[in-house]
Structure 1
Amino acid sequence: MVRTVYSPEYCLQYLEQYASQENFVLGLILGQVTEARENIIHLARTPEEKNTDTGSESSYVSEKPEAVRNLLGVSEAWVADHAKHVTRMLPGGMFVQGIFITSDEDIFEDPNYFSKVKSVLNYTHKTLSVNQYMYANYPHSNERLILHMSTNTKVLTCKSIEVGVGKSTSIKNVDWKFVPKAQQWQRLDCYYEFDDVYPVIVKKSGISVKQQFQQILESAYKTIESSVMFIDGELKDGSEALEQLIKKKKPKNSVKSAQDTPKSMHVSLFVPFENSLPETVEYLECDGSIHFSGVVSSSVFMYPKATVSETIAAVKQDIIRSLASRFTMHCDALIDDNLLPEEKVCFNEPPRRVLVPVGSLYLCDYLFPGEAPAEALLSVKELLDLQITEGDVICDVETPADTSEFDALDRDTSSEELLATPQEASQFMYITGICFAMFVLVVSIFIHYYDSIAVCISRLLSRS
């Protein structure tokens, strides 16, 4: 059975624009894969390579681009780095599904060019798979798309190959269909609140901010994965399609309009009580603590025929991907990677999420404290090859953190009184443990001698 993908018609115009200029262009295919259908949402040209360290997270902020004349001159690391940045902007359930190319060469017939295509896709797959929380978990299969438009004939060809399987040369035909009407998406909004305290334990080898955040991310992942999702306050059957839920909500006498757009569904995640408790309880001497608090805004867009199970996976993935993106960006912006600052209290605010329009849905970007929406325009232009205005950026999905209680704290005097030293915290933990152990000892003694006490009491009562 031939694989079929559906794409908005403006993607064809996008390809023809570059093909008419007879320029070599390589970019990313972005979309969503569900059991019902595979939808492409956007094609994003990869920026021209620049004279910076391609392994760094800031490699897209530089000067002096180097023009690449054909596919053989493309850097695999540069394309993979582009895919990393773009994936951060994708909501849960959407992925980089492959690459597109406009060129005058036949990339499928020439073995040198086809070998380069496989190298680019495999390198990108390997790079993204390193961080499972941010980039991985691609659904259904490891097949990636290759879309090619000839600058000479304007003929469009799409095929797929499997990545991450060694020297596999299997290539399959793909039926690429352009849809004239804009694809309708079902939006699901979720606000997930975090309010957790994590201990900081510095070992002999030390611990960095990145290491500590990785531990927090692993803990958050386990909690979110164990949670139960309610849609509009109700627990739904995982096999049911989203469009069926929409039909059930509509009144029977309502008139269907072509201009009707599905309203957003509200999603709530609840963690079962037994899963919120730690597996083991340990008494450790801590060097400090991290109070992780705030609300993560999640907006996921799903194909209406997608199932509830697929939607659940997308929402959970969106929250984790957003956390992983913020942690990485925050750590890269730090001057000092030392986890324990000289101050008793250190307040840090990771970047907040904003939404940017792409076609009939929204992707996201992240702004650091003090940054204006204009900063998002640069990211959208550079990474997505789109022109939007400052008014298009939705900045109120998350509000800046309230730092009033930290600003009012006198770090010179009151913080010394309010914060226990690591030794004091350790003593408190041990004392709590000893009290509990004494309580258990008393109860066990009482149970052990209960029968003897009962016999003595019965004898006294009989004599009286």
Structure 2
Amino acid sequence: MDLRKNTAARENVIHLARTPEEKSPETVSDNSFSSDKTETVKNLSGVSEAWVADHAKHVTRMLPGGMFVQGIFVTTDEDVFEDPNCFSKLRAILNYTYKLLNTNPYMFGNCLEISERLILHMSTSTKVLTCKSVEVGPVKSTVLKPVDWKFLPKAQQWQRLDCYFEFDDVYPVIVKKSGISVKQQFQQILESAHKTIETSVMFIDGELKNGSEALENLNKKKKPKTNVKPTQQDVLKSMQVSLFVPFENSLPETVEYLECDGSIHFSGVVSSSVFMYPKATVSEAITAVKQDIVRSLASRFTMHCDALIDDNLLPEEKVCFNEPPRRVLVPVGSLYLCDYLFPGEAPAEALLSVRELLDLQITEAEVVCDLETPADTSEFDALDRDSSSEEMLATPQEASQFMYITGICFAMLVLVISIIVHYYDSIVGVIGKLLSKSN
């Protein structure tokens, strides 16, 4: 698996991740690549397109914004570019992967806009590396383009940008004849969050920057003019990013009054850490940060839905508290990728993902776990204590482990308050006219 960072000047390959050996059918699981029983692949024709594509899907969840799975690498004796059967198989793998990633654009971002994918081949006999690109997707071209592949003599320097984006929104839950689908409700939240983030304005270190300016120039402007030679630490100093949503964009186009059966209070802070090539522009950094936040939400929603036993969103007349998987960082060379831990999981769980999906060995101490803290349940606990009936609180099995879900009474309260606020001016005007007539 070829992980690549796109820049205007060149494309940087971050890591080559070996795809795990395919599990035997009786041990296949949607949630983990780990298995004691594997099937050894003896030649390229025995490689499963679905298995490689699923590996790409899981790896993409671990990538910060601006980074994508952009190809495959293979080691064989034969020349895969000259052998029609080998090349046909590799193209089938890339096309299958492209179609799978295309099912969730919120997670996979604008990588789908680029139809070229890389094939890197190393001959086991000559040890020669050959890299070429090929068109995938609906494009029918089979023309191979040579790609110049070079290894850097030293570790690449990356500009890190950190951001914390807070969500605090209430969404209606409407019961249809077919019931309430968790995936549909989460998809609506994701679409709304995507629109909000896309309309936001990004400030770097508290300032609005020119989109065409290079990130390395921003660092040079901040440094005082001295004779001291800049160190690597100075170059890689993190930039703090803030996203502000214009007020007019935070209001709905039309005001609708819905008869709701409940509501979802979606609240929390998403941490974002992206790594950019110093020559990347501010516009590229803005795209990467926004994409990272949306990808993180899409990843958590997908992981949550995959772990669900029951797709029913809201137990009748219950109040549920659900906590999402939190984000942690794992080192890969001079930058960080990420993983997600469900409540109660230890950093050691991230080591399993890194070993299975990225083919890397790291220690538990290297996992950065303090980006996001566990949810504050004090308000929810108070609701539990004040409740006169134990039936008001859903059991952990009924909770869907993701977010606040309030009952019908709270939805009606929100609706009543909205109506009062909306018609307040009209009511005051009528009362004023009546008083003037009586005088």
TM-score by length of 1: 0.85
Q: Is the CA contact (8 Å cut-off) linking 1:55 and 1:81 kept in structure 2?
A: no
Partner residue, 2:240: 266
The SS at the match of 1:65 is coil
Query: What does residue range 82-101 of structure 1 map to in structure 2 within 5 Å?
Result: 82-101=55-74
Residue number among 263, 268, 276 corresponding to 1:294 in the alignment: 268
Partner residue, 2:84: 111
Instruction: State the distance in 2 between where 1:277 and 1:164 align.
Output: 38
Partner residue, 2:364: 390
Q: Is the CA contact (8 Å cut-off) linking 1:144 and 1:162 kept in structure 2?
A: yes
Q: Is the CA contact (8 Å cut-off) linking 1:194 and 1:294 kept in structure 2?
A: yes
Change (3 A) 1:217 1:411: farther
Instruction: State the distance in 1 between where 2:60 and 2:140 align.
Output: 26
The SS at the match of 2:110 is coil
Number of aligned positions between the proteins = 422
Code of the residue aligned with 2:185 in structure 1: it is Q
Structure ID, larger Rg: 1
Greater shift after overlay, 69-78 or 247-256?
247-256
- Is 2:198 the partner of 1:225? yes
Cα displacement (A) at 1:62: 3.0
1:331-369: CA deviation from partner (whole Å, max 9, x where unpaired)? 222222211124621011110000000000000001111
Partner residue, 2:313: 339
Change (3 A) 1:124 1:424: closer
Q: Is the CA contact (8 Å cut-off) linking 2:123 and 2:129 kept in structure 1?
A: yes
Change (3 A) 1:400 1:433: closer
Change (3 A) 1:328 1:421: closer
Q: Is the CA contact (8 Å cut-off) linking 1:373 and 1:390 kept in structure 2?
A: yes
Residue number among 81, 88, 96 corresponding to 1:123 in the alignment: 96
Change (3 A) 1:434 1:55: farther
Cα displacement (A) at 1:431: 8.4
Q: Is the CA contact (8 Å cut-off) linking 1:52 and 1:62 kept in structure 2?
A: no
Q: Is the CA contact (8 Å cut-off) linking 2:319 and 2:407 kept in structure 1?
A: no
Q: Is the CA contact (8 Å cut-off) linking 2:162 and 2:274 kept in structure 1?
A: yes
The SS at the match of 1:357 is strand
Residue number among 33, 39, 45 corresponding to 1:72 in the alignment: 45
Residue number among 161, 165, 176 corresponding to 2:149 in the alignment: 176
The SS at the match of 2:178 is coil
Instruction: State the distance in 2 between where 1:391 and 1:153 align.
Output: 40
Instruction: State the distance in 2 between where 1:249 and 1:155 align.
Output: 45
Q: Is the CA contact (8 Å cut-off) linking 2:5 and 2:11 kept in structure 1?
A: yes
Aligned-pair identity (%): 76
Q: Is the CA contact (8 Å cut-off) linking 1:129 and 1:136 kept in structure 2?
A: no
Partner residue, 1:303: 277
Change (3 A) 1:103 1:327: same
Partner residue, 1:429: 415
Instruction: State the distance in 2 between where 1:258 and 1:426 align.
Output: 59
Q: Is the CA contact (8 Å cut-off) linking 1:55 and 1:77 kept in structure 2?
A: no
Task: Structure 2: state its 5+ residue gaps.
Answer: 394-404
Residue number among 157, 172, 187 corresponding to 1:199 in the alignment: 172
Instruction: State the distance in 2 between where 1:330 and 1:436 align.
Output: 36
- Is 2:233 the partner of 1:247? no
Cα displacement (A) at 1:438: 8.7
Cα displacement (A) at 1:52: 4.0
1:124-168: CA deviation from partner (whole Å, max 9, x where unpaired)? 011001101001311763110000000011111000001113432
The SS at the match of 1:137 is helix
Query: What does residue range 31-42 of structure 1 map to in structure 2 within 5 Å?
Result: 31-42=4-15
TM-score by length of 2: 0.89
Change (3 A) 1:420 1:70: closer
Cα displacement (A) at 1:330: 1.4
Greater shift after overlay, 140-149 or 361-370?
140-149
Partner residue, 1:380: 354
Code of the residue aligned with 1:122 in structure 2: it is N
Partner residue, 2:299: 325
Query: What does residue range 396-411 of structure 1 map to in structure 2 within 5 Å?
Result: 396-408=370-382, 409-410=384-385
Q: Is the CA contact (8 Å cut-off) linking 1:344 and 1:415 kept in structure 2?
A: no
Change (3 A) 1:330 1:444: same
Partner residue, 1:150: 123
Change (3 A) 1:155 1:282: same
Code of the residue aligned with 2:415 in structure 1: it is M
Partner residue, 1:22: none
Change (3 A) 1:326 1:417: closer
Instruction: State the distance in 1 between where 2:112 and 2:283 align.
Output: 12
Instruction: State the distance in 1 between where 2:312 and 2:406 align.
Output: 20
Change (3 A) 1:288 1:307: same
Query: What does residue range 360-375 of structure 1 map to in structure 2 within 5 Å?
Result: 360-375=334-349
Code of the residue aligned with 1:382 in structure 2: it is E
Change (3 A) 1:140 1:256: farther
Task: Structure 1: state its 5+ residue gaps.
Answer: 1-27, 448-452, 454-464
